[in-house]
Structure 1
Amino acid sequence: MEFSTNLQDNIDYLHKKLNVQNNFDVVYRTLHIGGRTACLYFIDGFAKDETLLKILQVFSTIKEEDMPGDAHGFTKRYVPYGEVGLIKKDDDMIVQLLSGVSCLLIDGYDTCIAIDARTYPARGVSEPEKDKVMRGSRDGFVETLVFNTALIRRRIRDPRLTMEIMTAGESSHTDIAICYMQNRVDQPLLEMIKKRIQNLKVDALTMNQESLAECLYPHKWFNPFPKFKFSERPDTAAASVLEGNIIILVDNSPAAMILPSSVFDIIEEADDYYFPPITGTYLRLSRMFISLLSLMLTPIWLLLMQNPELIPSWLAFIRLSDPLNVPLIWQLLILEFAIDGLRLAAVNTPNMLTTPLSVIAGIVLGEYAVKSGWFNSETMLYMAFVTIANYSQASFELGYAMKFMRILILILTAIFNIWGFAVGVILSVCAIVFNKTIAGKSYIYPLIPFSLSELKKRFLRGRLPHTEK
């Protein structure tokens, strides 16, 4: 429905549509501008009071004979503000208003004047708790979309950097920013992403980027290996944009979605590039090796315990030193779930109680659990290493994918012994090999298809482009 030139009709319609009588934060002010009645709508908490006050002061000086004939002429002459738009339809105006834009209706004009004098409650762009680095910038993404785009713009001062805005959700109308370099992006992939977002039929992106990710890639949900890389660091996002990747920022989310992402992209971290090449290479290779070890350590140990004849003499010390009261497979599975229980408890524990409860949990699950006979000390040792190893890489999704594959191998090894171990390893390899990125390309490129030059870049941290002669 388009606006009428009769202001009272517009006010009656909007009051009913916005339920102004019950919504205390939907504020409207009736004004007189140039001898005409006007009405200003805004959301309390979203409007910049100082900016609106200055604009209203200008309106109070307009004389009746100086009033232009349409809203376009009015904005050109009397709205001394940069971000101003004209809206013809009431539905568009309501979405803008609920997003924080102040909307002005003037009697005799059939167009709404949208003044983007909004501000959002926001925290500081401090270093994210999740993606910390030993060296590098200490700023991070926040929940306000425009702040996040500004952090990327600050690092890439190139006119070819494009940030397109889209919306999704019938009720939420969530803002989504797609960031890319025009001359480097994969155009077919970009068009596919934009088309999928435009065709989304969802009520709201309740879980922000996770909701969007599941809508963009609805297939193969049973494969636990992540299809996207998430980062709360603007330097990581800027570097990915310069590499030709697409960054998706969702309003109310402090993380950037990077795509397409292979398993090597997900394993990479900012620390690899904030140190010299030899140190960055060591950190990267260590992370890969530790991730592989976290997957295979306990299944291999279980296999050797079930087949003592396979243990070489130089590894004889790995045998159990105490009597076995509970089967090893049950010890390992119980500890897998107990560790997740402790992790969930740590998330919900108040900060003031974190230290004492951690001490209690360490004593009870450590010394007393072994003395009681429920667990052997070797089982506790290997599971402690696996738990710590899961934090060697930043991606929670990849860590849990490794965990699910490890549990699968453990169960198959306990049931079918050597053959079960072999089948479990093959299934884990297939889950990685046959996985695809959102672009439909290999998840383990440059291994498949093989590219030696790209493989060197994945395993060895070379010199940065700006250091080359």
Structure 2
Amino acid sequence: MAEKPKIAKDIDSNINYLKELLGVGESFDVIFREYKFGRRRGASFSINAMVNDVVMADVLEHMMAQGQEELSMNILQKLFYSRLTHSQVKLVDNMNDAITSVLSGEMLFFLDGEGQVMVVDARSYPARMPSESNIEKVTRGSRDSFVETLVFNTALIRRRLRDPNLRFEIVKVGTRSQTDVAVAYIKDITNPELVETVKKRLNDINIDGVPMAEKAIEEYIAVGSKWNILPKVRYSERPDVAAVHLLEGHVCVIVDTSPNVMILPTTFWHHVQHVEEFRQNIIVGSFLRFVRMGAILFSLVLPPLWLALVLQRHLLPETLTFLGPRDPGIIPLGLQFIFAEFGIEMVRMATVHVPAAQSTALGFIGAFMLGEFATKVGLFGNETIFYIAVATVGTFATPSVELALAIRTFRLALTALVLLFKLPGLLLGLLGLFFILVFTKSFGIPYLWPAIPLNVAALKDVIFRLPIPSKVLRPAVLKPQDKDRLEGRTHKGPQKKKKEK
């Protein structure tokens, strides 16, 4: 590793170096200012709109207040330890760290004759305040969600977990972007090997920048087949969801400029659960979970199964002879489903791209276009529209957008197999999907755990919404250091272990 260039004691050398590197005079947002403190010269560098002017005025006021007799050698140390009241100040002795700091929004202050630079964290990022999540809405519960500012997101989690063992470790990703990525975990709960694995993969990222934030980072750290479309991590916009997973022993990756926190490792069952289940009664919550799982299953198999049975009507029992199109339409049935899938995806994409005021109107237009008008002109049959509509509604039952899109892709593949090979094609496709689920892993965790491999106690927890007081054990597959939630550590130190019966 190359040695980092040191801060020169000659202030002109530092000024000229940074002026050329940062483009002072070329980039209007790079602010350079010189000062006079008696016989000593000072200079500052900062980025416009990223520094709080009120804080900096207070810092400079303390600098100006020092008499000429105090502006001797080691003045930075004197100011640092006895004068500056701002809490987030540090002394840096190399140019690389200083450059990273100023481009991150901190202010650099040089003083002639000093081999260090004072870095004042007076950042004031353009930021929005926490508001309700658009994806993970609840009828009852908190309405705050993550935003694009890293320190706001860590504060939202820290507010819910006042545990001294909660850690937020910063990793810089991207040689040019220097994106701040925080690895969140609870030190005495989370498996240390998992934490080290995540940090190592983050440090191994070799790219100039990650402006696409969390998704680009996921493709680097979620090792596995790039052709497997099943989501290996879970995204959440809710601080309470992130806090629950941290208490279970998961790791959360928080990327600056992104309102989505990455939770890992995850299984299939993490993507079919929703916080709404835990805001309702136990029975109601279990019912909601059954409905959601049933909707996802129908979304996957209903259209291809109906198509397979209709194409081979001799396989239908007498009780199901009513199945089948009365008016099949001009286009063959198999192609109708494929074209309808493309039509629905077009409407979905259009509603995302148009302004919010027009999205509702566009949805009505799409519904009429794909529904009533398409059947009237004879392009599609009524049954085709019905089953595609049921499948589409089922797709939106999961709060995981990534899983919903994966299910839609699998459904399209199953429909194509049925069109080519009829019922054997459907069975072959479902068997292939099962093997994909079985062999998929997220950071070494089997995707179908606790169903495969079987863990009966944990399986009951993912199928039913169990009472919170009964959930005293953390998921064994995460290998947590503290397995029992009733015997966790507090700020007073480890509690005495209960006598085993």
- TM-score, normalised to structure 1, is 0.97
Question: 1:2 is matched with which residue?
Answer: 6
Deviation at 1:310, TM superposition (A): 2.3
Question: 2:299 is matched with which residue?
Answer: 294
Deviation at 1:358, TM superposition (A): 2.7
State which of 446, 449, 463 in structure 2 corresponds to 1:445.
Answer: 449
* CA deviation map 1:314-363 (0-9, x unaligned): 33332211144211110000011111111111111123323333333222
Question: 1:458 is matched with which residue?
Answer: 462
1:143–1:323: structure 2 CA closer, same or farther, 3 Å change rule? closer
- TM-score, normalised to structure 2, is 0.91
CA contact (8 A) 1:144 1:252 kept: yes
Q: Which has the higher mean CA deviation after the structures are superposed, 38-47 or 307-316? A: 307-316
RMSD between superposed Cα atoms in Å: 1.5
1:379–1:149: structure 2 CA closer, same or farther, 3 Å change rule? same
Count of equivalent residues: 468
Deviation at 1:199, TM superposition (A): 1.5
Structure 1 stretches of at least 4 aligned residues deviating more than 4 Å after TM superposition: 466-469
CA distance in 2, matches of 1:408, 1:157: 47
CA distance in 1, matches of 2:138, 2:72: 57
1:239–1:90: structure 2 CA closer, same or farther, 3 Å change rule? same
State which of 99, 102, 119 in structure 1 corresponds to 2:124.
Answer: 119
* CA deviation map 1:85-108 (0-9, x unaligned): 111111211110010001100011
- Residue pairs, 1:300-319, within 5 angstroms: 300-319=305-324
Tell me, which stretches of 5 or more residues in structure 1 are unaligned? none
Q: Which has the higher mean CA deviation after the structures are superposed, 346-355 or 411-420? A: 346-355
CA contact (8 A) 1:176 1:251 kept: yes
CA distance in 1, matches of 2:201, 2:359: 43
Deviation at 1:420, TM superposition (A): 1.0
Question: 1:62 is matched with which residue?
Answer: 66
Q: Which has the higher mean CA deviation after the structures are superposed, 36-45 or 52-61? A: 52-61
CA contact (8 A) 2:146 2:259 kept: yes
1:407–1:466: structure 2 CA closer, same or farther, 3 Å change rule? closer
CA contact (8 A) 2:340 2:370 kept: no
1:24–1:246: structure 2 CA closer, same or farther, 3 Å change rule? same
State which of 346, 362, 385 in structure 2 corresponds to 1:341.
Answer: 346
1:205 aligns with 2:213: no
CA distance in 2, matches of 1:399, 1:193: 26
1:409–1:355: structure 2 CA closer, same or farther, 3 Å change rule? closer
Identity %: 35
Question: 1:222 is matched with which residue?
Answer: 227
1:190 aligns with 2:195: yes
1:164 aligns with 2:164: no
1:433 aligns with 2:433: no
Question: 2:491 is matched with which residue?
Answer: none
State which of 131, 140, 143 in structure 2 corresponds to 1:135.
Answer: 140
One-letter amino acid of the structure 1 residue matched with residue 70 of structure 2? D
CA distance in 2, matches of 1:262, 1:50: 48
1:277 aligns with 2:278: no
CA contact (8 A) 1:67 1:74 kept: no
Deviation at 1:461, TM superposition (A): 1.1
* CA deviation map 1:161-207 (0-9, x unaligned): 11111111011000000110111101111111111111111111121
1:360 aligns with 2:333: no
Tell me, which stretches of 5 or more residues in structure 2 are unaligned? 473-485, 487-501
CA distance in 2, matches of 1:48, 1:324: 66
State which of 78, 86, 90 in structure 2 corresponds to 1:81.
Answer: 86
CA contact (8 A) 2:8 2:114 kept: yes
